[in-house]
Amino acid sequence: MTSEYHEVKTVADLASEPAEYREAITKIVISHTVNELYGAQVFDEPAIALAPTPYAKWLTCRIAMEEYHHHVRFKALADDLQVPPEATDPKQKRPLSIFGFPMKSWPEFCVIKMLADLAEILQVEDLLHCSFVPLRNIGRVTMPEEKFHAAFGKDFCTELCKTEEGRAAVQRAIDDYAPYLPKFFGAAGSKNNETYRKYALKARRNEQMREDFLSRARSVVESLGLRFPEIAEA
Ligand SMILES: [Fe+2]
Ligand SMILES: [Fe+2]
């Protein structure tokens, strides 16, 4: 942790916090609410139709259900914070760049789970220790599921890599998807991030998180005997 801040236990306790604290919480909650919903809509739900076997479909249904549930959890907190509904509507608020990838195949979905959900794990790691207890609680129930999603991605990529054709498709999907990832962590020297660290809502700078992510992503990909492409930082 780079900063210390006292615990804020409930939404009601926000009344005695500075407006800046409440605004920072609201921004974080809006971002998770929008992105969990949008990710479920553009990746997880369509992937059910791409899944090649009943077993893969069952697990993909479970993932889609959990991602929608993540949205529902963050949305309930957004409602408690009296965030106007349009602020968490993906049609009004632009979702993050990692969701802009036009996913068309099962190997692409497996790579997205392996890498984008690892990126999500890093974000949730900071929530686990944040000063706002309701967010910390959502982080605690969400984390095991995000870990399951990333492990699912890695397991199915491993499975696909057993054939030459599958291996080539996974490598192609990694090459195509990797450039979408660095932006997920936001700009270097971000003002929002500075505020989040001031109030112990995040532990790391965007650039530290991105660097940590890229080294973890690279080692997962290399553990499959594949290559992580050189990509420009955000
Ligand atoms: Fe999620
Ligand atoms: Fe996930």
Q: Which ligand is nearest to the CA of 146?
A: 2
Longest dimension (CA), the chain: 60
Q: How far is the CA of 3 from the centre of ligand 2 (A)?
A: 28
- The DSSP code sequence of 156-210 is HHHHHTTSHHHHHHHHHHHHHHGGGSGGGG--TT-HHHHHHHHTTS-SS-HHHHH
Q: What is the Å distance from ligand 1's center to 172 Cα?
A: 24
- Calculate how far, in angstroms, residue 222's C-alpha sits from the geometric centre of ligand 1: 24
Ligand nearest to the CA of 33: 1
| pLDDT averaged per 10 residues in sequence order, the chain, 234 residues | 83 97 97 95 98 98 98 98 92 80 97 97 95 97 98 98 98 97 92 96 95 97 97 69
Ligand nearest to the CA of 36: 1
- Cβ 173 vs Cβ 107: under 8 Å: yes
Distance 164 CA to ligand 1 centre (A): 31
Q: Which ligand is nearest to the CA of 115?
A: 2
- Cα–Cα dist 165/162, whole Å: 9
Domain ranges for the chain: 12-223
Domain 12-223 of CATH type 1.10.3720.10: no
Ligand 2 centroid – CA 38 distance (Å):
12
Q: Rounded to the nearest whole angstrom, what is the distance from the C-alpha of residue 142 to the centroid of ligand 2? A: 8
C-alpha 178 to ligand 1 mean position (Å): 19
Ligand having the closest approach to the CA of 113 = 2
Taking the centre of ligand 2 as the mean of its atom positions, its distance from the CA of residue 18, in whole angstroms, is 32
- Tell me, what's the pLDDT at 98? 86
> Whole-prediction pTM value?
0.95
> Any idea which ligand is nearest the CA of 138?
1
Ligand 2: centre distance to CA 146 (Å): 4
Nearest to 61 by CA among 74, 49, 79: 49
CA of 12 to the centre of ligand 1 (A): 26
Q: Please state, in angstroms and rounded to a whole number, the distance separating the CA atoms of residues 135 and 164.
A: 44
